[in-house]
Structures are given as structure tokens and as C-alpha cells.
Amino acid sequence: MPFFRIAKTFEVEYGHRLSKHPEKCRFPHGHSLKIEVVARGRSLDHNDMVCDYKALKMLVVDLVERLDHAMALNSDDPQLDGLKAIGERVLLFDGQDPTTEVLVRWLYEQIDERIRADGTVRSPSGAVYEIPEGLELERVRVWETSTSWAEYVGID
């Protein structure tokens, strides 16, 4: 059955440490992440859209803000106590290294839950945007570098 796709892309500066990695990635380092969120729908809403891009942005923007200049770490990292001294910008992943694959799945799950749960979102100016019934999160893709990305696909 045919459907429409829309996508919104975000960019953010982000750091992590892969405590299980055998080489350089075991040291704290940063990336300029590019995050692409793809949603789909079978019909258009009363504004002739699958979903307003602003609504899709409002579903994701606080997650991107949470990643901005954050240091992502494994909650079991043997260096966790010292690294947590970085401050409030630490993001912990429970028992997993914050690989791009782990990050993209986390983003997908957070966004998908929001699409399914919320009928509207509110912009900072107070405008209300509808999340159309039937909107589905198809996939999230995260580029760690300009040549490397991971993707989490939730539906066929």
C-alpha cells in the first residue's frame, strides 16, 4: 500500500567513550552527529501534510538538546566516577557502551513513544501542532562521521 515519507534532520555536538573498545575509541572523544528522523503516513491531514515538520521537530528537539555537548557513557564503565565529574551533561546508558547503534535505538524508542502517546505538541511560542493519527516512525539514522552511520528501522 502506498505511503508518504517525511524527514527532519538535526545536527549536534556530542561526546562518548566506548569502554569496551580495544583501541582509540576507549578514550573520551567527540563527534558532530547528524540525526535523521523519517516518519510516514498513508494519508494527508487537513493541511495536506503527512505531519507538519514543526510538529516532528517539537517531538525531537529536547532529545537533541539532551545530547548537545553531553558525554555519553556506559553505566558500568570502570572510569564512571571520574568521568561523572564532567558535570550535569553526562548521559548514561544502562550496561551498554553508547555506540552509534545503541544511541540510534534509544532515539528511535523515545521518538516512537512520543508519536504513539501524544496527539499534540506545543512550540515555544505556544502554537499547538497536531500529531496526525496514523503517523508512524519509520526509522532513525545517526551519522557519527561523514562516512559512518547507524540506522534503527522499526517498521517494514
The C-alpha cell that represents 121 in the structure block: 505538541
pTM: 0.94
- Tens digit of each residue's pLDDT (9 = 90 or more) over 41-82: 999 998 999 999 999 999 999 999 999 999 999 999 998 988
Average pLDDT of 23-50? 96
CA proximity to 13, closest of 148, 152, 150, 144 = 144
The backbone torsions φ and ψ at residue 100, rounded to the nearest 5 degrees and listed phi first, read: -60, -35
- Tens digit of each residue's pLDDT (9 = 90 or more) over 104-126: 999 999 999 999 986 899 989 99
pLDDT over 70, % of the chain: 99
Ordered by start, the domain boundaries in the chain are 4-153
For the chain, the first-to-last Cα distance in angstroms comes to: 12
Question: For the chain, what's the residue count?
Answer: 156
Q: Report the top-level CATH class of 4-153.
A: alpha beta
